Amino acid sequence: MFQVRIHGRGGQGAVSGAEMLSVAAFLEDKHAQAFPSFGSERMGAPVVAFCRIDNKEIRSREPVLEPDALLVQDPSLFNSVDVFAGLKRDGYLIINTTKTLEQLGIEEAASKLAPGRVWTVPATELAIQHVGRPSPNAGMIAALARACDGVLALDSVIAAIRKKFPGKVGEANVAAAQAAFDSAKATQSSQ
Amino acid sequence: MLKQMEGSVAVAEAVALARPEVICAYPITPQTHIVEGLGELVKAGKLQNCEYINVESEFAALSVGIGSSSAGARTYTATASQGILYMAEAVYNASGMGLPIVMTVGNRAIGAPINIWNDQTDSMSMRDAGWIQLFCETNQEAVDVHIQAFKIAETLNVPVMVCMDGFILTHAYERIDMPEQAQVDQFLPPFNPRQVLDPAHPVSMGAMVGPEAFTEVRYLAHHRQLQALEVIPKIAAEYNAIVGRDNGGLISTYQTEDAETLIISLGSVIGTIKDVIDDRRAGGEKIGCVAIRSFRPFPIAAIREACSKAKRVVVLEKCFAVGLGGMVASNVRMALATQPLPVYNVIAGLGGRPITQKSLHKLFDQAAADSLEGLHFLDLNHEIIERELERERLEGCSGAVAENILRGIGAVAASKV
């Protein structure tokens, strides 16, 4: 089973991101379960969403406590939420940022992860450029397809985006996702 | 047809396949997506011959439902939490008048303190209102049980409440195998009401009944619930024959054959429990679980049989009768009154507290050692309780409990995972 936890803020589409990941997995004939951590639905409030992917039926309903991949849609959450909770050494950390880990102040936490596991992607900038809105979710899940090799194909992620957002908005999000896939990069490990 | 979809949207599609003629509902979290979904289907013309009625409250929603069902229309509504309390009088009237309405409850806690998250106190508050109550483990089960619910209701002239855990199921995206319209049409014939409101043939409905017959009316309501013990499995078998899925019936069992420890629960937590059972079976423990699907009627014989070889029973429930303990455990103890085995009662998941595999392992360790107390609260934070009790001891006017505790644990903690 591959478990994903998305941290974002209300309005950033974290819940939709988890939903699209589950649809992408479904399109690959996998079982997937996506659900939000349910809180007050208001713009800017911390939001958490989860997605599990497996080759067999997924029965457990507990929140994702030990994620294989952690998507951080707003790095300001590092200051207020225990984002890293349960992240394993070989788990992936994918951050929506143009800054360095030093600038984000998470160098130490990131250094506990195995080499090649920390990725950054300017998903908000790419969304503004392609979609005209600061909605980083399509870019973030495309970055996951890039970073977590073998979990989901980019084509499936793109097909899921098109299902969620038909028409022009969908194509704009697909463009943002493709750009995010291309520009996501693993940060230099200090180890 | 296989689809990846949200539980609420799946239920909306399933209800639409049953061809309801009147849908009347008032939005309340976490049920809202279901009736929104149905509203969209009606508006888009995908659900025809159906009147979607907007009302001003839950009381009105079910009251309109009583009217439309009396008039002979297949009727559906949905609610949750405070909503079902607000419609309480109509809940009793619907069953008392023998109206086969189907209602979804997106299970959510009841305030105060206000809480939008999942537990099953709302449905349980209406457990004795004369409705059949069916609890779903997965969204696939919710789809299948909703379609069966119309047939059960119309066969017995008893309303059916389909209970699904709010958020955990209603807001979860998972794989759904949606039946085809032709299959549902074959399974579920058009509603043939026992009595119809018709101006050409006036009748009185909802008459006053005095002491001379009230007990007999109630007895017959009970009689119909006992008939349901036969009808529910029979209809599940008919559904299975047409759709090809055995999702229905009074209870379902998992690894119970040789189980010494039996976990009894209901709703979505069964899935988590099954995973924990697999882990423990791998370690050699004889443990299994029983999911109660039909809580009303309460399947006494089925539970008695499932527990016949067990050494201990753990009833884990997301509801709590303050001043007594668990409502499900009370019923299970009644069913097992003649079987001398310990029944441990565990209250878990109140107000949306996650029920984790880690906590369940710890709990089942205690159960296997027979070291559980008769009434146990999973993951209860004793520190919070002691702090508040201490405050009450020290301060004459100590203030409101809920607000005191929130101040104590801090606002950030309150918004954490």
Segments making up each domain of chain A, as ranges: 2-186
Q: What is the mean pLDDT of residues B298-314?
A: 97
Interchain contact A47–B (C-beta under 8 A): no
Interchain contact B135–A (C-beta under 8 A): no
Q: How far is B220 from chain A (nearest CA, A)?
A: 39
Pairing of strands B22-25, B75-79: parallel
Domain boundaries, chain B: 2-243, 251-377
Interchain contact B174–A (C-beta under 8 A): yes
- C-alpha separations of A6 from A30, B291, B324 in Å: 20, 31, 40
Q: In 3D, which of A59, A54, A3, A55 has the Cα closest to residue B273?
A: A59
Q: What is the mean pLDDT of residues B287-298?
A: 98
Q: What is the mean pLDDT of residues B278-285?
A: 98
Q: What is the mean pLDDT of residues A81-89?
A: 94
Q: Which residue of chain A is at minimal alpha-carbon distance from B268?
A: A61
Pairing of strands A69-72, B22-25: unpaired
- The DSSP element (H or E) to which A4 belongs, if any, is strand A2-9
- What pLDDT was estimated at residue A188? 66
- Supply B30's token pair: 């976490």
Q: What residues of chain B, 18 to 47, have a C-beta less than 8 Å from chain A?
A: 30
- What pLDDT was estimated at residue B52? 97
User: In whole angstroms, what is the distance from residue B176 CA to residue B165 CA?
Assistant: 17
- Supply B294's token pair: 């039909």
Residues in chain B closer than 8 A to A25 (CB atoms)? 4
A41 confidence band (pLDDT: 50, 70, 90): low
Interchain contact B390–A (C-beta under 8 A): no
Homologous superfamily assigned to B2-243 = Thiamin diphosphate (ThDP)-binding fold, Pyr/PP domains (3.40.50.970)
Does domain B251-377 match CATH 3.40.1160.10?
no
Listing from the earlier edge strand, what are the strands of the sheet with B2-6?
A185-186, A118-121, A92-96, A69-72, A2-9, A46-54, A31-37, B173-177, B2-6
Residues in chain B closer than 8 A to A36 (CB atoms)? 167, 171
Q: Write the CB contacts of A188 (distance below 8 Å, at least 6 apart in sequence).
A: none
User: In whole angstroms, what is the distance from residue A77 CA to residue A185 CA?
Assistant: 21
B34-38, B403-407, B411-415: range with highest mean pLDDT? B34-38
- Nearest by CB: B356 against A18, A36, A65: A65
| Contact between chains at A31 and B175 (C-beta distance less than 8 A) | yes
Report the interhelical angle of B139-156 vs B214-243 (nearest 10°). Answer: 130
- What pLDDT was estimated at residue B396? 81
pLDDT tens-digit series, residues A102-152: 999 999 999 999 999 999 999 999 999 999 999 999 999 999 999 998 999
Interchain contact B417–A (C-beta under 8 A): yes
User: In whole angstroms, what is the distance from residue A44 CA to residue A12 CA?
Assistant: 8
Region of B351 on the Ramachandran plot (φ > 0 left; ψ -120 to 50 alpha; else beta)? left
B135 confidence band (pLDDT: 50, 70, 90): very high
The ipTM (two decimal places) reads: 0.95
Q: How far is B37 from chain A (nearest CA, A)?
A: 16
- What pLDDT was estimated at residue B415? 46
Q: Write the CB contacts of B189 (distance below 8 Å, at least 6 apart in sequence).
A: none
- Supply B407's token pair: 């101040």
Q: Which of A56, A57, A62 to mutate to test the interface with B (most CBs of B within 10 A)?
A: A62
Interchain contact B355–A (C-beta under 8 A): yes
Homologous superfamily assigned to A2-186 = Pyruvate-ferredoxin oxidoreductase, PFOR, domain III (3.40.920.10)
φ, ψ for residue A94 (rounded to 5)? -120, 120
- Supply B224's token pair: 């119909």
Q: How far is B224 from chain A (nearest CA, A)?
A: 34
Q: What residues of chain B, 177 to 236, have a C-beta less than 8 Å from chain A?
A: none
Interchain contact A35–B (C-beta under 8 A): yes
Q: Which range is least confidently modeled, A43-47, B73-77, B174-178, B280-284?
A: A43-47
Find the farthest-apart pair of alpha carbons in chain B and give their distance in angstroms, rounded: 72
- The DSSP element (H or E) to which B121 belongs, if any, is helix B121-124
Q: How far is A3 from chain B (nearest CA, A)?
A: 14
Q: Do domains B2-243 and B251-377 have the same CATH topology?
A: yes
Identify residue B218 by its one-letter amino acid code: R
Helical segments of B214-282, H only: 214-243, 269-282
- Nearest by CB: A63 against B271, B412, B417: B417
The residue to which tokens 């529910």 are assigned: B232
pLDDT tens-digit series, residues A150-167: 999 999 999 999 999 999
- CA within 13 Å, CB half, A63: 18
* Share above pLDDT 70 across residues of chain B, in percent, rounded to a whole number: 98
Residue B291, strand partner residues: B252, B265
Residue B5, strand partner residues: B174
pLDDT at position B416 over 50: no
Interchain contact A9–B (C-beta under 8 A): no
- Nearest by CB: A59 against B116, B272, B412: B272
0.90 exceeded by pTM: yes
